[in-house]
Amino acid sequence: MVALTAAMKTKSKNPIVKQIVFGQSSWRLASSEVEAFVTEKGGHLGPVTFERRGRKIRPYAVAPWAEEKVDPAMPTILQVLRGDFFCLPFGGNAKPFRGEQQPVHGETANAPWHLESLEKRADRTGLHLSLQLTVRPGRVDKKIFLIEGHNTLYCRHLVSEMRGPMNLGHHAMLKFPDEPGSGWLSTSRFVHGQVLPQPFESAEQGGYSCLKPGAEFDSLKAVPMSNGEKADLSRYPARRGYEDLVMAVSDDTVPLAWTAVAFPQQRFVWFALKDPRVLRETVIWISNGGRHYPPWSGRHVNVMGLEEVTSFFHLGLAESARRNPISARGFPTCLRLDARRPLVVNYIMGVAGIPAGFDRVVSIQALPGGKAIALHAAGGKRTETPVDVGFMFDKSGA
């Protein structure tokens, strides 16, 4: 899995050693609770190990072909595919937008990033990477922080020197235990839920989907299927042999939006926090062996993408920037960048231990002082974990 490569110089005098991790040159940052790697190509965050009372928890997915010899023509994003990555734009770009042709999920998920610094100050360790964009000229600064005592990742992307409409977001992917229904998925309140309006996969190409294209829903527990039945998306793994994609529009009146997956048997919960005024939608990608073409070949199973975005599904920049069925309802599917005012996108992910009997998360609240959160379960159980909630609303970009 891991091998060392040549040391690199940073702004500090100490050399930073890159490592080959699951086939990719990566930077390592660590605290007493968390060890994380970020790939040079595409800036993918993964694998990540959280430490919980002597247990090592690794919730993120890594593509099964990560260490295989692959066709060099394969898009970089697929060669690297793991953990979480920042998409600018989010999705494909099959239709050029004003002559702009982006790679899938943008240069930010494919191009090589430049190391600015990796340093520890007091109780905080920070990795700072940068990327100069060429398709639409601009710059993105990626900053990932770890805080001692926190089983939490603090992710910040600063988008500058760019103008015009842009859809964007994070692309976190979890690997679930190979036990039906082992994970309990829930989100903060959403105001609209819909299955991708067009077929997600094609049987002619070796892909299979089971949800009804375009179907609307108001609960993850009852999403229409093509056969007339209802699928419960709140319990996973399920529906082996299918790939599906849905989107939920977050309520932007809540102070803090969230997505969570509780794993009662494993006694932990994974959570993600966002500002719904910046990342308005949650795209849920259900990948359970429904793609039988390379490199997927039916082996990408028990994976769920929980992708916090402002976008029209994963369909791309042109579709998100123009009027579409979601924006027509008054829900934004892109942001307008201003070269004079950098955009700050903050995102928090972490894990917390849970007591026996803790089931589906029904609320996540910041505790007084903003230094911890409380997670409440449907069955009445509760857990707390340290989180610097103020990070979410810090727009300084520091």
| pLDDT in 10s for each residue of the chain, 398 residues | 555 444 433 444 456 879 999 999 999 999 999 999 999 999 999 999 999 778 999 999 999 999 999 999 999 999 999 999 999 999 988 889 999 999 999 999 999 999 999 999 999 999 999 999 999 999 999 999 999 999 999 999 999 999 999 999 999 999 999 999 999 999 999 999 999 999 999 999 999 999 999 999 999 999 999 999 999 999 999 999 999 999 999 999 999 999 999 999 999 999 999 999 999 999 999 999 999 999 999 999 999 999 999 999 999 999 999 999 999 999 999 999 999 999 999 999 999 999 999 999 999 999 999 999 999 999 999 999 999 999 999 999 88
pLDDT on residue 271: 98
pLDDT on residue 5: 44
The answer to whether 259 and 187 are in contact (CB under 8 A) is yes
pLDDT on residue 1: 58
pLDDT on residue 73: 92
Q: Report domain extents, the chain.
A: 2-393
How far apart, in whole angstroms, are the C-alpha atoms of residue 158 and residue 344? Answer: 5
Contacts of 19 (CB under 8 A, 6+ apart): 2, 3, 4, 5, 25, 26, 27, 28, 37
How far apart, in whole angstroms, are the C-alpha atoms of residue 193 and residue 209? Answer: 18
How far apart, in whole angstroms, are the C-alpha atoms of residue 321 and residue 167? Answer: 7
The answer to whether 376 and 200 are in contact (CB under 8 A) is no
pLDDT on residue 10: 41
Three-class DSSP category at 71: coil
Of all helices (H) and strands (E), which one includes residue 78? helix 76-80
Reference 393, options 360, 363, 375, 366; nearest CA is: 366
pLDDT on residue 7: 40
Phi first, then psi: give them for residue 286, nearest 5 degrees.
-105, 105
pLDDT on residue 52: 77
- DSSP string across 6-59: EEE--SSSS-EEEEEETTEEEEEEE-SSEEEEEETBTT-EEEEEEEETTEEE--
Distances (CA, A) of 217 to 157, 303, 337: 32, 22, 31
DSSP state of 367: P
pLDDT on residue 397: 85
Q: 13-20 contacts: CB < 8 A, separation 24 or more?
A: 16/115, 16/118
Q: CATH top-level class for 2-393? A: mainly beta
pLDDT on residue 14: 52
pLDDT on residue 53: 77
How far apart, in whole angstroms, are the C-alpha atoms of residue 394 and residue 347? Answer: 11
pTM: 0.95
How far apart, in whole angstroms, are the C-alpha atoms of residue 168 and residue 308? Answer: 9
Residue 380's region, left for phi above 0, alpha for psi from -120 to 50, else beta, is left
How far apart, in whole angstroms, are the C-alpha atoms of residue 194 and residue 325? Answer: 11
Contacts of 152 (CB under 8 A, 6+ apart): 34, 146, 348, 349, 350, 385, 386, 387, 388
Reference 278, options 296, 300, 256; nearest CA is: 256
